[in-house]
Structure 1
Amino acid sequence: MISYLMRLGINVAFISWVVGSLVFLLIHLVPGDPVAVMLGDWASPADEEALREQLGLNLPLTQQYLNYWLGLVQGNLGQSLFFNQPVSSLIGERFPYTLQLALSSLAIALLISFPLGLWAALKAGRWQDHMAMTVSLVGVSIPNFWLGPMLILAFSIGLAWFPVSGAEQPWAWVLPSVTLGTALAAILARMLRASLLEIFHEDYIRTAQAKGLSAWGVYGNHALRNALLPVVTILGLQLGTLLGGAVITEVVFDWPGLGQLLVESIQRRDYPVVQACILIISVAYITVNGLTEIVYAALDPRIRLAK
């Protein structure tokens, strides 16, 4: 396990360096000047040059790159060009909202997908199975940028049950969580059904049934645990995506998370914030996938023995 954690740490460091370097180069190649965005169209060339020198944007690109990584090694994510405050404080303010949205979306997805997938597998080939898979297909097919506004029209404007946007009110998380959780639930339900149907034909399932175990003992204890292995993989990938900030959903609902901060910073050409957001997203994604492998080993003893 120690060697595995060391490999995970090396992978996180290497991929973070690659992602950070690519983002640094690409964002500096994109047309647009942050100084012009900050000062407006009527600023004099002298004011622009003074601000560019103050922010260090007049330095050669290689020097800016070295300064960026030297700061990261020291735990310094840089200073926001637009907000004029440490990037770490901005990330600290926004990340809890993204984490809340990701966990609530995951909870909704699990509450929908597990009963739906198990029900479809137990009723395979019948009308219940066809209905469950049709519902999941619709869930996969509906894009977030359409479902979000429809939920706002129905439940915020029409019924006035939930706030339209923001995160200040107590139930503001419901609609964005449902928007994200619906697609994830559909994917998990289909994956769980397929995995369960494969497990149902295994010899140990027939042996458990021959011993007279209850339906829960056969399907809940034996089948479901082994069927979770491919589901855990999908779950880890999707959770990494959610933690990275579901950009479209956060923008639609004006949710103050990392996704919205990233979009705003790209528009303002706020280089340090964009680099930090994408770096945090990549590290979260890699870490969640590493933790997924640990859960995999806990579910399947063969994997523990192979390590």
Structure 2
Amino acid sequence: MLTLLFSRLFSALVVMFGVVTLVFLLIHLVPGDPVQVMLGESATTTDQEALRQALGLDQPLLTQWFNYMTRLAHGDLGTSLTTKTPVNQLLWQRLPITILLAISGLSVAILIAFPLGSIAALYPNTMIDHSAMVFSLLGVSVPNFLAGPLLILLFSLTLEWLPVSGFESASSLVLPALTMGTALAAILARMVRATLLEVLNEDYIRTAKAKGLNKYNIIVHHALRNAALPLLTILGLQLGALLGGAVITETIFALPGIGLLTIEAIQQRDYPVVQACVLLISLTYVFVNMATDVIYAWLDPRVHYRAI
């Protein structure tokens, strides 16, 4: 197990190094000058050059990259170019909202997908199965930037049940969680159905049926437990995808999380903040997938032996 853990950790560090380098290069190569954004177009050339030297933006790109990686190795993410606030502080202020949104979206997905996929697997090739798969197809086909405004139009503007945007109470997370959770639920429901259909044909399931167990006990106590490994993999991958989707969802609902901070930093060409936000999202994605691999190997020792 330790060999597998160190192997996954080394792979994660290599991926993170590549992500940090790639993001650094892309941010510095895209059109736009943060100095002009900060000073305005009316600023003189002398003022722009003075600020560029003060920020270290006049140095060669390789020197800027080396300085950034050195600071990053010491846990220093830099200072925002626009607000002059340490980036670490900005992330800690915005991170709780994104975590709450990801957990809420994942909870919605699980509450919808597992019952839906289980019912579809119990009644294959029936109207119930077809209806569940139609819902899955709609959930996958409708993107977040369309589902969000539709939910706002229905529940906020028409019914006036929930707030349109911002974060004032727990009710502010309902629509964003539905927006992210339904898309994930559609994918997860199809996986639950496919996995259960395979498991329900096993001999031990036939034995459980012969003993007189009802469908609920067979699904909950036998089928889902043995179908947990592939579903765990999908959940791990999709949890990382939720953080990426939070960029769009937080922008639609004006939630002050990491996603909205990323969009604001891109618009202002705030290099340190953009790099830190992308680094945080990538690190979380890599960590979740690494944890999924380790849990997978813990649940199924055969994975451990194959990895070695």
TM-score by length of 1: 0.95
Quick one: percent identity of the two aligned structures? 56
**Letter matched to residue 171 of structure 1:** S
Conserved? CA contact 1:113–1:185, under 8 Å: yes
2:106 matched to which residue of 1? 106
CA distance in 2, matches of 1:124, 1:213: 19
Query: Is 2:88 the partner of 1:88?
Result: yes
Conserved? CA contact 2:4–2:294, under 8 Å: no
Deviation at 1:128, TM superposition (A): 1.1
Residue 147 to residue 244, structure 1, CA distance change in 2 (3 Å): closer
Query: Is 2:242 the partner of 1:253?
Result: no
Deviation at 1:166, TM superposition (A): 0.8
Conserved? CA contact 1:225–1:299, under 8 Å: no
Deviation at 1:229, TM superposition (A): 2.0
Q: Once the two structures are superposed, what CA deviation does each residue of 1:131-171 show, in whole Å capped at 9, x if it has no partner?
A: 11112211111111111011111111111111111112331
Deviation at 1:50, TM superposition (A): 1.1
Conserved? CA contact 1:79–1:85, under 8 Å: yes
2:22 matched to which residue of 1? 22
Report the 3-state secondary structure (helix = DSSP H, G, I; strand = E; otherwise coil) of the residue aligned with 1:133. helix
Conserved? CA contact 2:20–2:279, under 8 Å: yes
Query: Is 2:273 the partner of 1:273?
Result: yes
TM-score by length of 2: 0.95
CA distance in 2, matches of 1:216, 1:18: 47
CA distance in 1, matches of 2:60, 2:300: 52
Mapping of residues 153-302 of structure 1, within 5 Å: 153-244=153-244, 246-302=246-302
CA distance in 2, matches of 1:62, 1:196: 52
Q: CA RMSD in A?
A: 1.6
Deviation at 1:200, TM superposition (A): 1.1
Deviation at 1:303, TM superposition (A): 3.0
CA distance in 1, matches of 2:86, 2:28: 20
Greater than 6 Å deviation, 4+ residue runs:
none
Mapping of residues 132-147 of structure 1, within 5 Å: 132-147=132-147
Deviation at 1:304, TM superposition (A): 5.0
Report the 3-state secondary structure (helix = DSSP H, G, I; strand = E; otherwise coil) of the residue aligned with 2:227. helix
Deviation at 1:114, TM superposition (A): 0.5
CA distance in 2, matches of 1:217, 1:27: 54
Structure 2: stretches of 5+ with no match in the other structure:
none
Deviation at 1:301, TM superposition (A): 4.6
**Letter matched to residue 67 of structure 2:** N
Conserved? CA contact 2:176–2:250, under 8 Å: yes
CA distance in 2, matches of 1:305, 1:274: 40
Pairs aligned (count): 307
Structure 1: stretches of 5+ with no match in the other structure:
none
Deviation at 1:298, TM superposition (A): 4.2
1:116 matched to which residue of 2? 116
199-208 or 267-276: bigger deviation = 199-208
2:66 matched to which residue of 1? 66
Conserved? CA contact 2:116–2:132, under 8 Å: yes
Deviation at 1:77, TM superposition (A): 0.5
